[in-house]
Chains A and B, each alone.
Chain A
Amino acid sequence: MRHRTFFWFFLPTALAMLLFIAFPIVSVLLQSVFAPHQAVFVEVENCTPLVGCTTETAVDHDATRSLREAQPLGRFVGLDIYFDRAHLALTEVGEAWAGADTWGAFWGKVFNLPLYRALSFTLTFTFVVTPLLIVFGLMIALAVNSLHRRLKGLMIFFSLLPMIVTPLIGSLILFWMLDSRGVVGSALVALAGDPNFSLKASTGLTWVMLMVYGVWHAAPFAFVVFYAGLQTLPKDQLESAMIDGATRWQQVKYVVVPHLMPLVTFVALIQLMDNFRVFEPIVGFNAPAHATSLSWIIFNDLGGETRQLSAASTTSVLTIIGVAILLSPVLVRTWHDFKQKT
C-alpha cells in the first residue's frame, strides 16, 4: 500500500487516538507541574472617624478571577506536587526514617501516607490475584475439558458471566451477598459464632474479599484461553507419555503445562496490567476505609465539588509510570517477535 493511501485510511483512527489519548497524556503531564492559583489578597484600610484606621486583608475577587482566566493552568510549581504529602511525601518518609527504630515502625508510618497506602494495596492485589487466577483458570479448563460435550457449552456460558458483567455491578452483587445480613455473610456469622462478625469491619478481611472478587472476575478469561489451548494438545506426545508409564499428574506437568506455557505468559501479562488498574470493586464494596488503589485516588480527587486536577494529574503520571514498568516485558517480547519476522 502506498504511503498516501495508507495515510488516508489511517487518518480517522489516528486523529481519534492523538486527540483523546496522546494529548490528554501531555495535558496530564503539564497539569501535574502547575498548581491552582491562590487567591489574590489586598490590604484594605478602613478609616472610621474618631476610631481611627485599621488595615484588613481581603480577597480581591476581581483580580483572582482575572488571574485565573489569564492562566487557566495555574502557577508553575515544578515537581512540588510530586513531593507533597498526598503523593511521594518525601519529607514525611524522611521523618519516619529518622524517627523509627525498627523496620516495622517505619513501614507502619509510611503506609499511613495516602499514596503508599494505595500502592501497597494495588501491588498486593496485582501480584496475589494474577497467579491465583491463572492456577484457578487452568484447573477449571482441565476439569471442563474432561466433561461431556453438551455440558461443556453450558459450563462455558456460565463461566463467561463473571467476566462479562460490568465490574461495578459484579462487585455489588457479591457485596450484597457478603454483607453481614446477606446470604453468605450471615452464614459466615453463624460459622464464626460471633453475631458482630463482619467482613467489612477488618482491613485484612476486606482485602481478602476484594481479591476473591478479583479472581472470580478474571479467572474466566484464563479459563477460556487455556481451554482453547487444550483443544490443540499434541495427542501423540500424550500417548507416548502414557506408554512410558507417566501418571496422570506427570502428564499434566510434563506435557500439558509446557504446551500451555505461551498462553500462561499471555494471560499473566494482560492480567498484570488489568489488575494494576483495580478500581471498581473498591467503589462497589464501599471499601475506601480499608483499601484504596492508585486509580481510586485519581477518581476521588477528580470527583466531588473541588476538582483537584493537579493532584489527580500527578497521581495519574505516577500510575502511568507504574504501567510502563509492567508493560516493558511485553514491549521487549513484541520487539523480539518483530525482529524474528523481518
Chain B
Amino acid sequence: MSVKAQRRPLGLQLAIIGFVVLWFILAAFPFIWTVWGSFKVELDFFSIADWTNVLTGERTRAAYGRPFTGAGYNGSWVQEEFWRNVLNTLIVCFFVVCTSLTIGTLGGYALSRSSYRYTFWLLIAALIFRAMPPITLVAGYMLPFFEWNVWGILPTTIIVLVAINQPFTLWMLHSFFQKIPKELDESAKVDGCTQFQAFRHVIIPVMWPGVITTGLFSFLLAYNDFAVTSMLLSESNRTMVPEIAAYLGTTYTEGNVMFAVAAVVSATVPLFILVMFFQRQIVSGLTAGAVKG
C-alpha cells in the first residue's frame, strides 16, 4: 500500500489528535486531579474561594506551613483505622483468587475435554448465572446466614464471592483450555496416566498464561465488589469499598471529606499498579470472549 495514499489531510490529522487529547484528559485527568488534591486541605480541594488554590495550596500552606499535607491520609489510616479495611480486602482478594482459580481450573478443564452434550448446557447455565446481578442474590443469603450464625464474617463473604466468580472463570478457562491441543493429554493417557495425572503433569505446566489472565479478573471482581461486601460484612469486618461508602454518611456531616478522598486514592493506587504491570493480560482477557464469539 502506498504511503502517500494513506497520508491524511492536515485537518483530519488535527481532528484525530484533538480527539485523542480530549479522551486522554477525560480518562486521566480525574485521577491525576484527585491524587494531587488528596494532599491538600478541604478548602483547597474544593474551590471555595478560588480554584487556583488547589494548584498553589494556599490554605494548606496557611494551615500546615507547606503546600502539601498528609493530614487526610493520617486521618483515614491512623485515626479511622483504614488499615484494617485494607487488610480485610487483602485477605478477601487473596482467598477469592486462590479458591476460584483452583476449582475453576478443574471445572474449566473438564468442560473443555468432555464432548458430551451436557457441557453445553452447563456453560449456558453459567452464562445465565453470570448475567444475574449479584445484589439480587443477596436477599437469598440473609436468612440462612443469620440462622447459621455465619453472617458478617470474612469466610462467608469469600465463599460467596468465589461462587459469584465461577461462571466467568469457567467461560474464560474453558475457552483457554480449548486452545491447548487435546493430543497433549491424550498421549499422556495412552502412556498410562489417569486423567488427573495427565492434567497434573501435562496441562498444569502450560496453563499459566490463561490462569493469570483469569486470576486478574477474579481479583478485580473481589476488589471492586460493593453490593455483596457491604451487605454481608459486619461493621468491624468491612473491606475498603463498603468502608468508603460508610465514610460518606459520617464525613459529610463532620467535614472530614479529605479522609474519604485519601481513602479513595489509597484504594485506587493498587489498581494503577495492576494495570501498569498486567496491561497486556487485561486487554487479551477483555477481547478473548469477543474474538471467539
Contact = CB atoms under 8 A, between A and B. Distances in A.
A266 B289 contact: yes
Interface in B245-293: 245, 248, 257, 260-261, 264, 267-268, 271-272, 274-276, 279, 282-283, 286-287, 289-291, 293
A103 interface: no
A10 B136 contact: no
Interface stretch (B59-67, B204-212, B223-231): B223-231
Interface string A1-37: 1110110011011101101111111111001000000
Contact of A169 (B124, B128, B264, B275): B264
Interface in A288-342: 295, 298-299, 302-303, 307, 309, 312-313, 316-317, 319-320, 323, 326-327, 330-331, 334, 337-338
The B interface, classified by DSSP as helix, strand, loop or mixed, is helix
Given A13-B104, A14-B107, A183 B128 contact: no
Contact of A161 (B20, B27, B114, B224): B27
Interface string B43-55: 0011110010010
Contacts of A225: 286-287, 290
B86 interface: no
Contacts of A262: 293
A112 interface: no
B20 A155 contact: yes
A228 B257 CA distance: 40
B136 A319 contact: yes
Contacts of A183: 33, 47, 51, 54
Contacts of A303: 230-231
Contact of B140 (A1, A2, A24, A224): A24
Contacts, number: 282
Contacts of A23: 140
A255 B133 CA distance: 37
A182 B279 contact: no
Interface in B194-252: 195-196, 220, 223-224, 226-227, 230-231, 241, 244-245, 248
A55 B239 CA distance: 53
Contacts of A216: 26-27
B20 A143 contact: yes
A273 B169 CA distance: 18
A253 interface: no
A266 B290 contact: yes
Given A16-B103, A31-B143, A164-B274, A320 B132 contact: yes
Contacts of B160: 20
Interface string A237-279: 0010010000010000000000000110011001001001101
Nearest to B136: A316
Interface of A: 1-3, 5-6, 9-10, 12-14, 16-17, 19-28, 31, 72-73, 139-140, 143-144, 146-147, 153, 155-162, 164-169, 172-174, 176-177, 179, 181-183, 186-187, 216, 220-221, 224-225, 228-229, 235, 239, 242, 248, 262-263, 266-267, 270, 273, 276-277, 279-280, 283, 286, 295, 298-299, 302-303, 307, 309, 312-313, 316-317, 319-320, 323, 326-327, 330-331, 334, 337-338
Nearest 6 Cβ contacts at the A-B interface: A24-B140, A20-B163, A9-B110, A13-B107, A277-B133, A27-B140
17 contacts: A16-B159, A17-B125, A22-B129, A24-B140, A146-B16, A156-B283, A169-B267, A181-B48, A183-B47, A225-B290, A228-B283, A263-B291, A279-B133, A283-B226, A286-B248, A303-B230, A320-B132
